Amino acid sequence: MKLHSFPGYEHHLLSNIADGSEETLRHKKLQGEAMMRYELPDGMTMENRLIPGPEEGQELKIRVFTPAGLAEKAPMILDIHGGAFVAGSVDLDNARCIALAERVPAIVVSVEYRLCGATGYAFPVPLEDCHAAYMYLYHHADEFGGDCEKLGLHGSSAGGTIAEGLALYLRDRNEPTPALTVLNCAIFDTAIEETYSFQQLSQLRMGPDKKALGAEAAYLGGYNGQQPSYYAFPSFCHDVGGLGPTMIIAGEYDTLRDTAIDYSQRLLRAGVPCELFVAPRLGHCFTAAPHPYTDLVHDLMAWSFKREFGLLEELRKS
């Protein structure tokens, strides 16, 4: 299939090509440099903190973004970064956290969960770390100047997978559920090879060498084809009813596209409030690339968070 990149996203799309050529590596380098750039707005603070982890004596690093001029008991958003479960850190999402903190406005907290793969960790360790961070924000919201009743969740790629696993985990444990869960190019299933989008976009990095990348196997600590827990991959959940409002974002040129569309339909059929946004001519995790269209998608995320946080009530009077 011939790809026609959204103008201005060429480096991002070409960095996903699976041929391993020097040209692809060059685009990947440029894209990597671009996604790490950020600028802290005037008055916004960015602070690293340590909070208790799920295991005795363990600490988790979190990064807290607090915009200037927030009202008391401000909304809060927990951000879970991507990286195929084996890479990445809170540094990946600085620009996105700033964008959401400024646009909502809200206190945005990113969590440095333990990675899988070479570290020796596997599911459910990342989920448990993110659950610990979420519950800490809920029970200690006052320490941040936040409102525990206005706590949202965002995750991109592998982080989106963990985020939806967390939403299901919270539902099943009758714990406080997110006001809104944003699943940004999430991995919903272990068997995307059967989808049309996978076959259609086979030249992309998340295509023919997907098994070589081993994201799913790394997360599960080895994958033998048996059905995993739906807390690991949410498509395996037979009953998605009772989840809170959800926003799903996918790219037209992402091999994960069709599983995102399918999962959104399952949520809607189960009566879960869900919005689906499929970005034309864009690939996996396109919102990591600085671009006016990325700004637009961050605007849409912010409007959705505002809606579920009850920050749009003044519009009823207009």
With tokens 């070479």, the residue in question is 118
Give the pLDDT score at 213: 44
Answer whether residue 299 is part of any domain.
yes
Answer whether residue 27 is part of any domain.
yes
pLDDT tens track for 19-43: 667 777 777 677 777 777 889 999 9
User: What's the first-to-final CA gap in the chain, in angstroms?
Assistant: 48
pLDDT tens track for 85-142: 999 999 999 999 999 999 999 999 999 999 998 888 999 999 999 999 999 999 999 9
Answer whether residue 219 is part of any domain.
yes
Answer whether residue 317 is part of any domain.
no
Amino acid in the structure at residue 246: T
Give the global pTM. Answer: 0.93
Beta strands in the chain (DSSP E): 45-52, 59-66, 74-80, 107-112, 146-156, 181-184, 246-251, 274-279
Closest CA to 77 of 102, 53, 60, 58: 102
pLDDT tens track for 127-140: 999 999 999 999 99
Domain range for residue 35?
A: 14-244+252-309
Give the pLDDT score at 158: 96
* pLDDT exceeds 70 at position 18: no
pLDDT tens track for 164-199: 999 999 999 999 999 999 999 999 988 777 776 776
Cα-flanking dihedrals φ and ψ of residue 278, to 5°?
-105, 115
Answer whether residue 314 is part of any domain.
no
Beta strands in 235-310 (DSSP E): 246-251, 274-279
CATH code for the domain in which residue 206 is found = 3.40.50.1820
Cα(221)–Cα(230) distance, integer angstroms? 15
Instruction: Please give the tally of structural domains in the chain.
Output: 1
